[in-house]
Amino acid sequence: MVSFSPFANALAQLKRAAKILALDNLTLNKLQTPERVLTAKIPVPLDNGTTREFVAYRVQYNDARGPFKGGIRYHPGVTEDEVKALAFWMTMKCAAVGLPLGGGKGGVVVNPKELSAGELERLSRGYVQAFYQHLGPTKDVPAPDVYTNSQIMAWMLDEYEHLVGEHAPGMITGKPLSLGGSLGRATATAQGGVYILQELMAKLERSPKNTTVAIQGFGNAGANAAKLLHQLGYKIVAVSDSQGGVYNEDGIDPRKAEAIKQAGGMLGCYCLGTVCTLEQIKTDGPCRAVSNEELLELAVDVLIPAALENQITAANADRIKAKIILELANGPTTPEADEILNKKGTLVVPDILANAGGVTVSYFEQVQNAMNYYWSEEEVSPKLKKIMVDAFAAVWGAKGKHQVDLRTAAFVLAVERVVEAMRERGESNTKKGR
């Protein structure tokens, strides 16, 4: 049955790993449900004098390995089911790369593009007012996610510190540098993914030159990945945002695409002011607009979904031509699609490995906050690289050992680690106070 429930998909992934680990039912059952699901309605006074309520969630999935950790998403499509899946994936992601953190996630059902800066600030402060008793550096640590950013983290930190009456920079990550953010955090998700791709390319004895890449999503993860890969000599041939995308057989300079977006233009318009040159357009040549669906099916070497869940499904998986899929988004591929892709020999580098760079530098940010001593970018980068390279090697090793795909290998490692921590705690315990 085709499932568009991200949480059902997440549980299907869990079950595959559980089977290989011969996990007992009691433990599996514990892993199938979050520790806590918090919901609230946040009243936000709007600029026009009226008040609107927004539905908000914080899901605390598992904290056996450390404080709950995970971003807050502002998106009109947010549901409880989605936030549960994202919180579960955070648990697995932190464990897959060996961070001493659990997993959580937050979300607000809102289209932030429709709010003014003031309304957005009031919503963000309202979120913290609703949940602050459950947050904190040793309890649950939010971060940015889809359509949230360092400014929103700053408002949330400020609100939290007012409520608890002390400085607590480690209660949130992805902050501005001036409030205790980490160098390298803004590009960390993309950078981590690039380190992983480079490791995979080395295994396959391929070089970036002549390797074509299509990227779905031009937010923090997608745009930074495009720039980093371009610098390394990969040929970016397609990029898109929520409005649509553009394909250029001759290659796209992502800095130009970014400039167009920053100027309020559209990536996907088949017109002047896109990444196509006038000459390419006039000759009906190698540059054209593509939809987000078309982008996924382009004949490229590497496909990078960097937007939302459920993009590669049973409906389009057999038309995907890329040999490598690097999941910078969370949950872009459904289990049904995985099956089709695995049969075809497509290498899917799973989200819990490919996009773990973001939370890894979030962890570094917390470490620096706790020390109140800050690292240079030259100190952050090799630390991130080591974690990603080691995690890739471990996942690649588990793939060979268990003769499974990369996702199942990553889940086997992650589930093993979470379960070990649960057992060490004597996890039949009642969790008092946490």
Residues that bind ligand GLU (CB under 6 A): 69-71, 143, 145, 173, 330, 355, 358-359, 362
For residues 211 and 191, the answer to whether their CB atoms sit within 8 Å is no
Residues 6+ apart with CB under 8 A from 23: 17, 31, 415, 419
Nearest residue (CB) to ligand GLU, 237 versus 352 = 352
CA 303/CA 326 separation, integer angstroms: 6
105 tagged catalytic: yes
Nearest residue (CB) to ligand GLU, 269 versus 367 = 367
Helix (H, G, I), strand (E, B) or coil at 138: coil
Nearest residue (CB) to ligand GLU, 268 versus 331 = 331
The Cα angle at residue 187 between residues 182 and 192, in degrees rounded to 5 = 100
Q: How far is the CB of 229 from ligand GLU (least distance, A)?
A: 19
Q: Select from 3, 158, 68 the least CA-distant residue to 431.
A: 68
Nearest residue (CB) to ligand GLU, 67 versus 268 = 67
In angstroms, the Cα distances linking 254 to 247, 257, 288, 326, 426 are 12, 5, 16, 18, 50
Backbone dihedral region for residue 264 (phi beyond 0: left; psi -120 to 50: alpha; all else: beta): left
Q: How far is the CB of 143 from ligand GLU (least distance, A)?
A: 3
User: Helix axis angle, 377-402 relative to 188-203, nearest 10°?
Assistant: 50
For residues 363 and 369, the answer to whether their CB atoms sit within 8 Å is no
Q: How far is the CB of 222 from ligand GLU (least distance, A)?
A: 13
CA 65/CA 216 separation, integer angstroms: 33
Nearest residue (CB) to ligand GLU, 97 versus 120 = 97
CA 368/CA 359 separation, integer angstroms: 14
At 348, which amino acid appears?
Answer: V
Residue of 69, 84, 105, 235 marked active site: 105
For residues 103 and 362, the answer to whether their CB atoms sit within 8 Å is no
CA 415/CA 139 separation, integer angstroms: 21
Nearest residue (CB) to ligand GLU, 337 versus 356 = 356
Provide, for the chain, the percentages of residues in helix, strand and coil under a 3-state DSSP scheme, each rounded to the nearest 5. Answer: 45, 15, 35
Strands 324-326 and 302-305: parallel
Instruction: Return the number of other C-beta atoms located less than 10 Å from residue 48's C-beta.
Output: 9
Nearest residue (CB) to ligand GLU, 334 versus 355 = 355
Q: How far is the CB of 109 from ligand GLU (least distance, A)?
A: 17
Nearest residue (CB) to ligand GLU, 331 versus 335 = 331
For residues 268 and 295, the answer to whether their CB atoms sit within 8 Å is no
Q: How far is the CB of 72 from ligand GLU (least distance, A)?
A: 8
Q: Return the residue matching tokens 């779905």.
A: 216
Q: How far is the CB of 73 from ligand GLU (least distance, A)?
A: 8
For residues 204 and 367, the answer to whether their CB atoms sit within 8 Å is no
Nearest residue (CB) to ligand GLU, 101 versus 229 = 101
The Cα angle at residue 10 between residues 1 and 86, in degrees rounded to 5 = 130
Q: How far is the CB of 356 from ligand GLU (least distance, A)?
A: 7
Q: How far is the CB of 150 from ligand GLU (least distance, A)?
A: 12
Q: How far is the CB of 260 from ligand GLU (least distance, A)?
A: 25
CB-nearest residue to ligand GLU: 71
At 247, which amino acid appears?
Answer: Y
Catalytic residues: 105
